[in-house]
Homo-oligomer: A and B are copies of this chain.
């Protein structure tokens, strides 16, 4: 199914033309390998044990990436919102079964490209490879900072940080997911919020 340029969000176009620096021809070539996909709320884009065969641009909606422990408890590593890339990086790279679950928190529309196509194009278009590599480097910094945050800050500090940096997400996603992201249980988040609102 051919993707028409007029149906593509400007953010997606600018990501590859302005940010990655691709020419018009290069962008058109790249675009021809993308396909659109819809993932309704609560459906999984990926489950642990599956191989991540594609890399995806999240055009609309939001997802959560999480693990499940042996007691069935879910632990959210990170969220993703429109404009972000999603996938299981390690599985994408090694083409072996991944460890994370990626589930749609809202109805999602995404544009995805297979890893084989992407690797081919990266070999053809050096700028694309550069961009992808830089993207992953930044993503690594984010993961490091998140690790430091989980280890260094108290639950209350983590909550206040999130509220400050991403206030909009409180309007969009259930508090239970935010609790899991903050690494506490829902009742604990409730207590914490009550404590803060009293002040």
Q: Does A93 contact B (CB under 8 A)?
A: yes
User: Cα distance A137–B136 when bound, in Å?
Assistant: 8
In the complex, the answer to whether B148 meets A150 with C-beta atoms within 8 Å is: no
Which of A33-41, A138-146, A187-195 lines the interface with chain B?
Answer: A138-146
Number of copies of this chain that the complex holds: 2
Residue tally, chain A, CB below 8 Å to B: 27
A154 CB, min distance to chain B CBs, angstroms:
9
A81 CB, min distance to chain B CBs, angstroms:
19
Q: Does A67 contact B (CB under 8 A)?
A: yes
A197 CB, min distance to chain B CBs, angstroms:
23
User: Cα distance A139–B139 when bound, in Å?
Assistant: 12
Q: Which of A100, A139, A146, A147 has the most CB of B within 10 A?
A: A147
Q: Which of A89, A140, A144, A145 has the most CB of B within 10 A?
A: A144
Partner of A69, one of B90, B93, B153: B153
